[in-house]
A and B are shown apart, each in its own frame.
Chain A
Amino acid sequence: MLSFKSTEILRLGVRNLFVHPARSVLTMLGILFGVMAVIATLAVVEGISEKMQEEVLRMGTTNIIVEAVKPTESESTTQTQQGGMAITYGLTYEDAERIQSSIQGAEVVAPARRIPVTARYLTRRTRAEVLGTVPWYNETYGINVASGRWLASLDQRKVDNVCVLGAAVARSLFPRSAPLGKSIWLGSFSYRVVGVLASRGKTATSSGETETDYDRTIYIPLTAASRRFGKMLQDQSAGSRSFEMVELHEITVKVPTAEAVRPAARIIVGLLEKFHDKKDWDVGVPLERLEALERTKWLFIVLGVSIAAISLLVGGIGIMNIMLASVTERTREIGIRRAMGAKRRDIVSQFLVETVVLSTVGGAIGVPVGVTLALVIPRLLAQAATMLGVGGEAALTSLSRTIVTPGAVVLALGTSIMVGVVSGVYPAYRAAQMDPIKALRHE
């Protein structure tokens, strides 16, 4: 009988909302926008966080990335024959060997050098970074070859002038033709293209300060890199003639399990501290970044939802306001119902049902609206960026995707129902507390 009565009261509540359709719709809008904001905000946060997570994952959760860092102090500066200043810093082959022999179970130690170059094919030119590395580098990073092949041990031994192109480099140099087998110029040497990589998109390096575009990288054998480019790198950015002496820019260590990452990283730090007299290195652990990212994500969710919650709060205040007015307006009706046998809790339910129906329906409409908004946000931002002519590039890559999770929908809908209950309780209580005799006489 109770459930029967509840469905009856629900029916009554819905009918009462149709008495003032415009008022009901306007009240509902407050909740609708609130729910929409919650869903869109969460979708943006989720999108950014997943994007960042993918980047970290691409660096490999079982990888430890040791990078060369240019030291700030100038004590290592020496006069070169050319009259410029030369700085010696960074990682060495010895470091790679030491790491290899010190860490038990270290699967691969992939050393790499990075050299900024201008790549040329016929009359086409493009900025790129040459990465001299070992044949197992692709396994460490899960690099996928789209066509052709990856660097082989034979290339390494023969110090062959072969290269594998990142997707963007291949596109710039070979817009219409197939790059495989063609020769491109890197500096004063020509390299035969043996492979082209699948596109990976932008990623942050482990230090998080600079961005490396995997797709703009040209991979060549490490032996070839040392031989052809030497140990000296000319600093392109500085106006003065300064040179950098770097043996290795990067050593990637892959350990078998995630549990082994932290102990291995500690050993590496110990080794480097022992053998480097200056801090010209940095040890990055993608796993730790992943965990830090998770924390940051929650911070953003809390922040975003709090902002969205304000609009839900305003919506709730709107409902309460309307319901208080409605209770006063319907004082007589309340008196009549009480005289006809309605208990206080019947009156409470009647008004509560109205607010909950309002907020639930508002929320239910707000969900698809929010999802739609989440879907168009990346496109809207892209348009806004092009219209303003700003370098939307950076903003776009981090906002190129929004993700609506079931959790976000449940949260938004649940909150909207809760807002209905909370905003309805006080007006309903006021209605129920009315003295039926006075209510009946109310004009």
Chain B
Amino acid sequence: MSLAQLIDLTKTYHMGADIIVEALRGVDLDIEEGEYIAVMGPSGSGKSTLLNLIGCLDRPTGGRYILGGQDVSRLSDAELSEVRGRRIGFVFQSFNLIPQLTALDNIEVPLFYQGVHRRQRRRRSQELADRVGLGARARHKPMELSGGEQQRVAIARALSNDPLILLADEPTGNLDSVTGREILGLFDDLSARGRTLIVVTHDEAIAARTHRTVQMADGKIVNHTSN
């Protein structure tokens, strides 16, 4: 059985009185364990909506979403939070670190809401900081870190809860090309160790590194390509 299954997933937004936006119009997607998938498509094609649904930040209007054997398409807000906290890791284009927390504290945020003990959290965050190559910079606050370092913190944070799926939305979008390549190297590394990754990107070069590319347009998947 696949790790995640999207079955005829739809999402419509009501903007004002009678403007209805159909962001997703029946998406079917199977995600296998250990897969590295790139999602591509022009803006407005539904990439972000798809990512939000996979990340359990939102509920689909129609269809089903099975994640790790659990139907999560009709869960309550609190249950969805729980699923996010335990099974999903997010990496954002703009890093989204909490400014007043140190790198280590940022890495621990998902564990905090899991009720993991402080000492255990610290051990895990230190281990992850080392793994993403932060080293001594881990005690600094985001403002004192470079973009590349910040994104490493974000990746470490996304890994802290050992998620089923790591979702990355344009992870190199705010980085220079050299740093971007370093981050992508980190992704390759994670993939090689069997981590399931989904990356939303505009960049063909990134897509080329993944196992397969999902091409979206007008709220639908229009093409699957194995790389």
A contact set with B: CB distance below 8 Å: 1, 4-5, 8, 12, 15-16, 19, 332-333, 335-346, 436-437, 440
Contact B96 A332 (CB under 8 A): yes
Additional pairs, 20, CB under 8 Å, beyond known A333-B99, A340-B157, A342-B85 = A4-B117, A15-B100, A19-B100, A332-B96, A335-B96, A339-B55, A339-B57, A339-B90, A339-B96, A340-B84, A340-B109, A341-B82, A341-B84, A341-B85, A341-B86, A341-B161, A344-B77, A344-B81, A345-B78, A440-B96
B157 contacts across to A, CB distance below 8 A: 340
Contact B85 A340 (CB under 8 A): yes
Q: Evaluate whether A437 and B96 lie within 8 angstroms (CB atoms) in the complex, with A341-B84, A341-B85, A343-B81 already known.
A: no
B115 contacts across to A, CB distance below 8 A: 1, 4-5
Q: From A333, which residue of chain B is reached at the shortest CB distance? A: B98
| Distance A342 CA – B157 CA, assembled complex (angstroms) | 14
Contact A341 B114 (CB under 8 A): yes
| Distance A292 CA – B144 CA, assembled complex (angstroms) | 69
* B92 on the A face (CB < 8 A): yes
Contact A336 B78 (CB under 8 A): no
| Distance A158 CA – B92 CA, assembled complex (angstroms) | 109
Contact A436 B57 (CB under 8 A): yes
* B170 on the A face (CB < 8 A): no
Q: How far is the CB of B71 from chain A (nearest CB, A)?
A: 19
Q: From A335, which residue of chain B is reached at the shortest CB distance? A: B96
A15 contacts across to B, CB distance below 8 A: 100
Contact B98 A343 (CB under 8 A): no
Q: From B110, which residue of chain A is reached at the shortest CB distance? A: A340
List 22 interface pairs A-B (beta carbons < 8 Å), by A numbering: A4-B117, A5-B115, A8-B118, A19-B100, A332-B96, A333-B98, A336-B109, A337-B109, A338-B84, A339-B90, A339-B96, A340-B85, A340-B109, A340-B113, A341-B84, A341-B110, A343-B78, A344-B78, A345-B78, A346-B113, A437-B57, A440-B96
Q: Evaluate whether A339 and B84 lie within 8 angstroms (CB atoms) in the complex, with A344-B77, A344-B78 already known.
A: yes
Number of interface residues of B (CB under 8 A): 28
| Distance A345 CA – B92 CA, assembled complex (angstroms) | 24
Q: How far is the CB of A335 from chain B (nearest CB, A)?
A: 8
Q: How far is the CB of B15 from chain A (nearest CB, A)?
A: 13
Query: Most chain-A Cβ atoms within 10 A of its Cβ — which of B81, B100, B157?
Result: B81
Contact B118 A341 (CB under 8 A): no
Question: Which residues of B86-134 have CB atoms within 8 Å of chain A's CB atoms?
Answer: 86, 90, 92, 96-100, 109-110, 112-115, 117-118
Contact B52 A437 (CB under 8 A): yes
B77 contacts across to A, CB distance below 8 A: 343-344
B100 contacts across to A, CB distance below 8 A: 15-16, 19
| Distance A436 CA – B83 CA, assembled complex (angstroms) | 14
* B58 on the A face (CB < 8 A): yes
B110 contacts across to A, CB distance below 8 A: 340-341
Contact B92 A341 (CB under 8 A): no
Contact B81 A338 (CB under 8 A): yes
Q: From B106, which residue of chain A is reached at the shortest CB distance? A: A336
